[in-house]
Structure 1
Amino acid sequence: MNPHLWSWAALGGAIACEVVATGFLNKSEQFSKLAPTLVSLGLYGVSFYLLAQALRTVPLGVAYAVWGGLGIVLTAIVSIVVFKQRLDWIAMVGIGFIVVGVIIVNAFSKAGGH
């Protein structure tokens, strides 16, 4: 597999693990439930490992912006769909700005090396 493609796949895996880990963090009830706590900590570990692998070819600033930005957006979606939490319109506008920022970095920046 192309090393650059592998790096982006690793970044996608890191984002997915971080989002699922955050969901289990919510289920751990402030680390008072052992199983969700252990799943959360394990998935955060895998997420950081995959993020480190992504840094082989993806610049740190770009990788972290994508990881953090998409992690925030996807976690917000999980909080709405799975946990039935509500976001007000200000929160949604802010999340929209994050999405626009990630798109700008990936579509127009030469820093990503694509």
Structure 2
Amino acid sequence: MSKVYKGIISVADKFIPQALRPLWEHPAGPKTIFFWAPAFKWGLVIAGLGDVTRPPETLSIPQCFSLAITGVIWSRYSLVIKPKNYSLFTVNLFVASINIYQLGRAYLYQQSLNR
């Protein structure tokens, strides 16, 4: 860890209430990348939700497919690693779900063009 990050954690450590200590000290808690990577990945979910209002002809099928597959793979991985990372599982489940939905929209649009 960098000196800056260690300094921030040591200062924050003094303000964490006893009730939140188990979360704070968890191997996948806020002191680790295992917490922050899934936290920032929620940006993909928010972007996907924003795309729900986009016309289906503007959706990128390769992008939605790769995000859906990535979400499925990382959902599985998050339950296999030690410690299990349920926040990583949850965010990837949402990434997969929203992109599978988008793929469905794109597929139905393509089908409507073929009629």
**Interval of TM-score (by shorter of Structure 1 and Structure 2):** 0.3 to 0.5
TM-score, L = length of structure 1: 0.38
TM-score, L = length of structure 2: 0.38
